[in-house]
Amino acid sequence: MEILQNLQLGFSIALSPWTLMLAVAGCFIGTIVGALPGLGPSNGVAIMIPLTFSLSLDATSSLVLLTSIYYGAMYGGRISSILLNIPGDEPAMMTTLDGYPMAKAGRAADALVISGVASFVGALLATIGLAILAPALSRIAFEFGPGEYFALYLLAFCTLGGVASNNQAKAAFASCLGIAIAMVGLDPNSGTPRLTGSNLHLYDGVDFLVAIVGLFAVSEVFFFIESHGKSGASNVKLGKVRIPWRDIFEVRWVMLRSSILGFICGVLPGAGASLGSFMTYVTEKGIAGEKGGFGTGVPKGVAAPEAGNNAAAGGALVPMLTLGVPGSGTTAVLLAVLVTLNITPGPMLFVEEKEVVWGLIASLLIANFVLLAMNVPMVKVFVKILEVPPAALMPAVTMISMVGIFSLTGSYFDLILVVAFGVLGYVLRKMDIPTVPVILGILLGGKMEKSLRDAMVLSDGSAWGLIYTRPSEPTNPSMIASGLLIAAVLGFIAPMFLRRILRKPQRVSD
Amino acid sequence: MRISDRIFGAVVILGSFIYVMAAQGIAKPFFADPLGPQAFPIGVGIVAAICGLVMVFSPDEEPDWPEMRSFLSIVGSTILLIAYAYSLKPMGFLVPTAIASAVISYQITPAPMRAVIYGLGISVGLFVLFKFALGLSLFAFPRDFFG
């Protein structure tokens, strides 16, 4: 019954007018961010961070605001998938497969409502899962020493590429690039400057936010310049929004299965929401078989990926809060916020910062109902926002990013770095090299090295210290560390074979 | 031909080589832990070099690179953004922001009048938002403009 007490504490915080207002504002902004093509959840949250700091919010408030934006973006991503055949964010990719054909067949409103309800089911179940699983996992996390943490970081980087990327070497390179950038600066153990090229600006290392704004927001602007914003303008008419009760009833088991599967995908460190929507779509397609008609515009094909990606979004918060290892690009941004606010995620969070954690969970439960209201009866408001032309939107995004970074760090050098990361992000994405591992590498590289070096101190320099993590029991290998290491190796190799079996479905083109 | 991946892989190998060299040059502190400050960066460099080798020897399909005109627009925008970064303090917020947004808007959709309107709107709108709603210390015009 501890969980009920904790939830009661959480709701006492979440229901204060100020927190409630932030949650509603976050949901609204988030849905817009998700719906607009070119503004995904991670760069949406990233460019909001400077604004959060200038509002000088406390830890709970800023976390509530930013996670509401995150949840909102996950809901909103489907709107442009269905109406424009352009995913509003990466996890919504799978929703285009059946959402757009449905819209072309004149059922755009039905598709929006079904996917909205599926998002709600997925996100709600995942938030409940978070409330149950996170405290349990945080108890296990107390057992973690440096050796276990190193294995965990390795697992996160090895599974990042996953089935959703196309080339394991490129995904691995992206992680290496991020970790290599994280090494720049003063060595935390000895204080010697490393790889700075004697540039004083680099002694503090490369700021994580600079990298993320450059890699995500600025590189997106370059893509819009390349395509000259041709991708806008919906040719699908949205009729009157009615609730298709029959369809919703028909997809009830799909939503339930996809929520559970998506949640599991989200909890895996490094995997995230894109994997959640991919796996659920492929699984449901397999269950329905040939006569299921997936890809031609069936309600199940809309419900499955939306329940899956929203459940994964909630699941990704579990490793982020309990272990400090984010499960996706956006949770990496949230982790960076926590660290900047002087809160160290990890098992102690659930003991020392109860208000923050449970306030957050309670706010997310409330946010889900707010989002359901915004995304079903009020969906037309957001459809209107899609009509903002890229020629007005993208310059504004660029300027908000640049000024936001400038207001945080006040340095020209960081602005130049933002542009440099923008160019890098453009080249990487052109080369089909994922950018999320770069971000995670920059964020976690330093911690990964530290845990490895601490493990080596404990074992006196022997590599066996990665498995025999407790010097007091030299014959007793750590089950957690060895399990994680095996999972890391399997997680890296398995996609190479699975990729041939699980072909990525192609988007329909007009 | 699949030349892009091969060239990129070669650049990765070269970059990793320089990185490993630089990592070996890190000064060793007096009291180092068993691993020291060099080992981990060197390891990361070696893994990156292996990835580069894979890209050289088993390249993917050629990405569709932009045509010359789009490429020049992107290079131009990059230079513009760098110039913007340097002009923000000496020239105040409003003028550089308006110019930069208008140019980027024009690059996306070449409609000059609308680009100018968007540029002015974004500049003034963001100034009001940042300065008055969020309380950032921005200067609208160059500070010594009014003496």
Take residue B105 and report the two structure tokens written for it.
């808007």
Provide the residue count of chain B.
Answer: 147
- Across all residues in chain A, what is the average pLDDT? 84
Residue A356 has pLDDT above 90, yes or no: no
Among residues B83, B10, B62, B75, which one has the least CA distance to residue A423? B75
Residue A139 has pLDDT above 80, yes or no: yes
Q: Which residue has the tokens 């009001």?
A: B128
Percent of chain A with pLDDT over 70: 93
Does the distance separating the beta carbons of A407 and B136 come in below 8 Å?
Answer: yes
Contact with chain A for residue B13, Cβ under 8 A: no
State which H helix or E strand residue A193 sits in: strand A193-194
The 10s digit of each residue's pLDDT in A252-296 is 899 999 999 999 988 887 666 777 888 888 888 888 887 888 888
Residue A229 has pLDDT above 70, yes or no: no
The yes/no answer to whether this complex scores an ipTM above 0.95 is no
Q: Which residues in chain A have their CB less than 8 angstroms from residue B111's CB?
A: 391
Nearest-neighbour CA in chain A from B143: distance (Å): 17
Q: For residue A243, report the phi and psi dihedrals to the nearest 5 degrees.
A: -95, 115
Domain regions of chain A by residue span: 2-501
Calculate mean pLDDT across residues A431-451: 88
Take residue A159 and report the two structure tokens written for it.
């599974």
Contact map slice: A 391-450 vs B, CB within 8 A: 391-392, 394-396, 398-400, 402-403, 406-407, 412, 415-416, 418-419, 422-423, 426, 430-432, 445, 449
Q: Which residues in chain B have their CB less than 8 angstroms from residue A423's CB?
A: 78
The 10s digit of each residue's pLDDT in B57-103 is 988 888 888 888 888 999 999 999 999 998 888 888 899 999 999 99
Strands (E) located in A357-449: none
Q: Which residues in chain B have their CB less than 8 angstroms from residue A453's CB?
A: 33-35, 40
Q: What angle do CA B136, B138, B141 make, to 5 degrees?
A: 165
Residue A302 has pLDDT above 60, yes or no: yes
Among residues A425, A137, A118, which one has the least CA distance to residue A267? A137
CB A266 within 8 A of CB A327: yes
CB A177 within 8 A of CB A434: no
Contact with chain A for residue B105, Cβ under 8 A: yes
State which H helix or E strand residue A194 sits in: strand A193-194
